[in-house]
Structure 1
């Protein structure tokens, strides 16, 4: 993404978060199994969301995302946990 942004511009990436907190991770797993996937199933989208819990376990942590952004050529990078740590937002300056 660094290649397509103008110098001085800001990138913001919002996604689910791989929380460091075991409690948050447990609640997130429960919410995906008991809320997200069942609701998606009601709309015929079960297969599009079934992978989500396992996928989040493979996500990079906020610290790892910050480091990766800096290695990719961004001058600044900061990761913010949002919504009790269920979501995350990486903000990076080119």
Structure 2
């Protein structure tokens, strides 16, 4: 299976991770620490829940999408990714 790595779990990175997972790709969602990567996945789950409530997707589709997204800390977990997309913040102080 091809794996897509996404560096940055903010709004843009989470969106990239979501559409990649919805397309059937395994995704590694990375941020500066695991807690932020998990927050990114939680935001994706919230958005997918809204789509379920509006009957745009099924519960099964939501669950399948979330199952393909793995939050990770840092970029070390990106070594075997087929494609890595950088969507990290441009704030230099971070």
TM-score class, shorter: 0.3 to 0.5
Highest Rg: 1 or 2? 1
TM-score by length of 2: 0.42
TM-score by length of 1: 0.42
